[in-house]
Structure 1
């Protein structure tokens, strides 16, 4: 019979908690990470366990130790995933970190393409609300993404149809307007050549390789709430996952 996995070791739980803070943008490059003493107190663990968590983060490339000073977040070229964006929005009410912003290039009603209609379960009437955005920071464009919502959501959440930014993020806004809460999500990924529009928006050469993610959020009744298609440029780490080998 299949066996339920044991809980992760305590030091990994601590390391993953700090890693998620870094990926969400709560801890930014140059910020100091809690000391061994502080981690041991906060998590009620021994100093060696706290030290091992920081060493794991160092080996994974997330932090660096400075002699006589402390442990600090390294500068990382990382594209944050939807789950990091959601986590930040729920905690702070803002989906982007300081210095990041989105330009809404198009919004409103549109007939959904086949893959969007299938993901949202649209039958007959394929009308859906879309929001296309380019996310940027001071260094330039980070990603191009389009969110799609079915007609019931589009009618009850009118700001989705307007080209102004939604500070708390589309999902949190939709949850507040419709009462439907996101429960879990599924991602499908592939690499392909950028379309002409994607290459222009991401400042890439024509047909440059990009990573494309199809992201579906389901509510508590397992109904599709949002479909998003995100395009990431090359040469940035986009996804990180740890898993046991036994």
Structure 2
């Protein structure tokens, strides 16, 4: 049974997204052989070059690898980075309510330009409100290099993207996330944040900044997730044999 795929995407991206979903769910484990070009072409009713392009997209992202004269296999060391890493609270679920509030090419704020690259005067901005099953809201603003607006046109769509915007971007440009940098802090909420998160004034919020880089160190996304007070707890576990002396 095929997963639901956005029909507005090119066929090769629909195929690569479907295979990636199988790999993420563990239905295709590391080392497992993925369907061949011929099998994909027959199953999806496309020409073989289209199927080859889908496999090549995953190959460029490091998700699969080819063996000469043998076939294509899931990489032993997956290059996948899930859209929501559960370090600073629970991950977002598929049944969460997501509303895209804004999507446009805008002047890049200083912090965004520094994260995406010093020459980035403009950036694609997507702002959305995520509400989970418990009613907890998170305001998320993501920025992408403005050059991606042509190759990943759906970043400017005022609707949620299947699997999330970063996953869509990776598929559209054929490059995956290799390094993730995160930093977390607290500050007073802005008027816009208070309005969307239904907070009184003044109110403190937890802000998680995340920068995603490809294998060449090029920034793909800079994201700020704003959480209401008391909504997220940071948990870490480490071995005392490798940690600094914590008894002082």
Q: TM-score, normalised by structure 1?
A: 0.60
Q: What are the within-5 Å matches in structure 2 for residues 155-234 of structure 1? A: 155-234=150-229
Distance (Å, rounded) in 2 between the aligned partners of 1:194 and 1:201: 11
User: Would the aligned equivalents of 1:141 and 1:203 in 2 still touch at CA under 8 Å?
Assistant: no
Distance (Å, rounded) in 2 between the aligned partners of 1:238 and 1:110: 32
How many residue pairs get aligned? The number is: 159
RMSD: 2.4
User: Would the aligned equivalents of 2:92 and 2:132 in 1 still touch at CA under 8 Å?
Assistant: no
User: Would the aligned equivalents of 1:141 and 1:201 in 2 still touch at CA under 8 Å?
Assistant: no
**Cα distance, 1:96 vs structure 2:** 4.4
User: Would the aligned equivalents of 1:134 and 1:141 in 2 still touch at CA under 8 Å?
Assistant: no
> What's the counterpart of residue 117 of structure 1?
113
User: Would the aligned equivalents of 2:93 and 2:132 in 1 still touch at CA under 8 Å?
Assistant: no
Q: TM-score, normalised by structure 2?
A: 0.59
Q: What are the within-5 Å matches in structure 2 for residues 1-246 of structure 1? A: 82-84=84-86, 96-123=92-119, 126-246=121-241
More helix by proportion, 1 or 2? Answer: 1
**Cα distance, 1:242 vs structure 2:** 1.1
Distance (Å, rounded) in 2 between the aligned partners of 1:107 and 1:157: 13
The verdict on how the C-alpha distance between 1:203 and 1:173 changes in structure 2, with shifts beyond 3 A counting, is same
Distance (Å, rounded) in 2 between the aligned partners of 1:141 and 1:154: 31
Q: Deviation per CA, 1:101-150, whole angstroms, max 9, x where unpaired?
A: 21111001101000100100041x51110000010134434210101000
Q: Deviation per CA, 1:37-67, whole angstroms, max 9, x where unpaired?
A: xxxxxxxxxxxxxxxxxxxxxxxxxxxxxxx
**Cα distance, 1:227 vs structure 2:** 0.3
The verdict on how the C-alpha distance between 1:207 and 1:127 changes in structure 2, with shifts beyond 3 A counting, is same
User: Would the aligned equivalents of 1:116 and 1:227 in 2 still touch at CA under 8 Å?
Assistant: yes
Large movers: runs of 4+ above 4 Å: none
User: Is there any run of 5+ residues in structure 1 with no aligned partner, and where?
Assistant: 1-25, 27-80, 89-94
The verdict on how the C-alpha distance between 1:111 and 1:158 changes in structure 2, with shifts beyond 3 A counting, is same
